[in-house]
Amino acid sequence: MDTDTAPPLRMLFGRWRFWLAMLAFVVILAGVLFGYDQGVISGALGGITATFNLSTFMQEVVTSWVTLGALVGALIAGGMADKYGRTRTLVIAGVLFALGAVLQSVAQGTGVLIAGRFVVGFGVGVASVAAPLYAAEMAPTATRGRFVSTYQLAITIGILLADIVDAVLSSSGQWRLMLGLSIVPGVLLVFVVLMMPESPRWLVKVGRRDEAKASLAKTQGGADVGGRIDAIERDASSTTQAAWKDVFMPAIRKALWVGVGLAVFQQITGINAVIYYSDEIFKFAGFTTPQQQTRATLIAIGLVNVLATFIAVAWVDRFGRRPLLLAGLIGMTTGLVAIGASFLFLDKNPSSGGGTSMVGVVTLVAMIVYIASFAFSLGPVVWTMINEIFPNQVRGKAVAFCTAINWGAAFLVSASFLSLVDAIGEATTFLLFAVACVVAFVWVWRRVPETKGKSLEEIEQAWTEHEAAQAAPRTLPVG
C-alpha cells in the first residue's frame, strides 16, 4: 500500500510515524502469533487427548512439535531472509501460520494434527528470526532497542490471548476452534507485511539501490536520502557477511558460550513446561474442572507474565542485565521449590465442600512467583543480551544459532515433561527445574558480563580485549 491510501493516520501522525507504527504492528503481530501458538496448547490438550485417545507420549509429541518446527524454521530463516528479502520471508511465515492453523483445526487423525503443529512451529521459528531482523533494519537508530522488548511483550500478550481463548472455550472443549483461531493474526500478518516496503539495507545488499532509496524516502524521509544510502552501501561493503564457520571461530567462542548458555538456561529452568502444561499442572494440584484450570492459568500465568514483562522493559536499562537475571533466578528457584514441596507434603484432595486443595493454593501462589520472576528476568533479558553480545559480522547467524538452540532446549523439555512426571513424580520434576535454576545462578554470576549502558561496539571491544588477555591475539576477519 502507498501511504496515500491511509490519509487519516498520515494526517494525524505524519508519514514517518505512520510507518513506524506499522513496523511496530508487524513486530507485535509476529510476537503475538509466537505467543498464541505456544500458549494455546495448554487449554487444547485435554480435548485433543479425549478426541484421539492420546497416550502420554503422543500428548508430548502433539505439544512439542511446534518447538521442533521452530528449531528448523529458525535455522533456515536467516538464509531465507537474505535470499528472498525480509518482507517476503515474513509473508511466508504468515502463510505457514495460517496453513498450520487450518491443518490443526480440521485434523481427523494425529498425523495431520502433528503435521499442522510442525508447520505452525516452522512459521514461528522463521518469524522469530525475521521479525526482529526486519525491525532492526527498518527502525531509526534511536528506537531500535525498544523493538526487542516490544517483541517479548507481544509474545506474552499472545500467550495471554491464548489463555483467554482457552478459558472461554474450555467448558465446550472446542480445541479445533482454539487452534484454528490463530489463522486470524496469521492472515493479518500477511496483509500488513504486503503493505510494507522492503528493508533498504537488504535492497542495497542485493544491488537494488533505486528501490532502497525509494523505501528509505518513504519510511524515514528527511534530507539527504542518497547520502544515507551511500552510508548503508559503505557499511555493507566493509562488513563481509560471515559464513557459518565464522560463528564458531575462537574469537567468538566466549560470546557464543554466553549466548548458548543463556538460551539453554532460559528453557531448562522449566518455563515452557509451565506454559504448555499449566492446566495439567493445576489438575495435578487439585483444580478439578477444566474451567478452574483454565482460569488459574489465565491469571497466574497469562496475566502475571504480561504485567511482569512491563517491569523488565522499564528496568532493564536502569538496573542492568545481571541484577535482573540473578534476582529472577532467586525468585524462580523459590517458586519451584514451593511447588515441589507442596506436591510432596500437602494434601492433594480438595477440602470438604469441593473447594481447592492446599496443594492447589500453594501451587497457584508459587506459580505466580515463578512466572513473575521469569518474566522480569530470563524472558526478556536473554533475548536482549543474545542480540547485543555478538560482533557485527556474525551477529545475524550467531543470533539465529542461539535461537535454534533455545528451541531445541524447549523441545527437549516439552517433549519429556509428562513422561518425567510419570517416572519420577511432580515433586521431583519441579525440584529438578529448581536445581537447574541454581546452576544457572552460579553460571550467570561467574560467566555473564554486564552489557548495560555499553554500545554494541564497546561490547565487541570488551570480548576482544578479554580474549587477547587470555591467549594469543586473535581477530575477526574483516573485509
Site residues (vs ligand BGC, CB under 6 A): 38, 152, 155-156, 159, 266, 271-272, 275, 305, 379, 383, 406, 410
- Label residue 415 exposed, middle or buried (CB < 10 Å: 0-12, 13-18, 19+): middle
Buried b (16+ CB within 10 A) or exposed e, 49-73: beebebeeebbbbbbbbbbbbbbbb
Q: Residue with CB nearest ligand BGC? A: 379
Cβ proximity to ligand BGC, 81 vs 124, nearer residue: 124
Cβ proximity to ligand BGC, 200 vs 261, nearer residue: 261
Query: Are 263 and 336 in contact, with CB atoms under 8 Å apart?
Result: no
Closest distance to ligand BGC from the beta carbon of 204 (Å): 31
Residue 360, amino acid = G
Nearest to 154 by CA among 305, 22, 340, 14: 305
Cβ proximity to ligand BGC, 89 vs 406, nearer residue: 406
Cβ proximity to ligand BGC, 416 vs 428, nearer residue: 416
Cβ proximity to ligand BGC, 159 vs 204, nearer residue: 159
Nearest to 254 by CA among 436, 478, 470, 477: 470
Cβ proximity to ligand BGC, 266 vs 294, nearer residue: 266
- Which helix (H) or strand (E) segment holds residue 52: the answer is helix 41-52
Closest distance to ligand BGC from the beta carbon of 179 (Å): 17
Closest distance to ligand BGC from the beta carbon of 360 (Å): 23
Closest distance to ligand BGC from the beta carbon of 410 (Å): 5
Cβ proximity to ligand BGC, 155 vs 256, nearer residue: 155
Q: What is the 3-state secondary structure (H, E, C) of 245-280?
A: HHHCCHHHHHHHHHHHHHHHHHHHCCHHHHHHHHHH
Closest distance to ligand BGC from the beta carbon of 18 (Å): 29
Closest distance to ligand BGC from the beta carbon of 306 (Å): 9
Q: Which three cell numbers stand for residue 221?
A: 524521509
Closest distance to ligand BGC from the beta carbon of 273 (Å): 10
Angle, CA of 289, 295 and 299, to the nearest 5°: 150
Cβ proximity to ligand BGC, 242 vs 413, nearer residue: 413
Rounded to whole angstroms, the Cα distance separating 221 from 213 reads 10
- Which helix (H) or strand (E) segment holds residue 420: the answer is helix 395-447
Closest distance to ligand BGC from the beta carbon of 406 (Å): 6
Rounded to whole angstroms, the Cα distance separating 369 from 355 reads 22
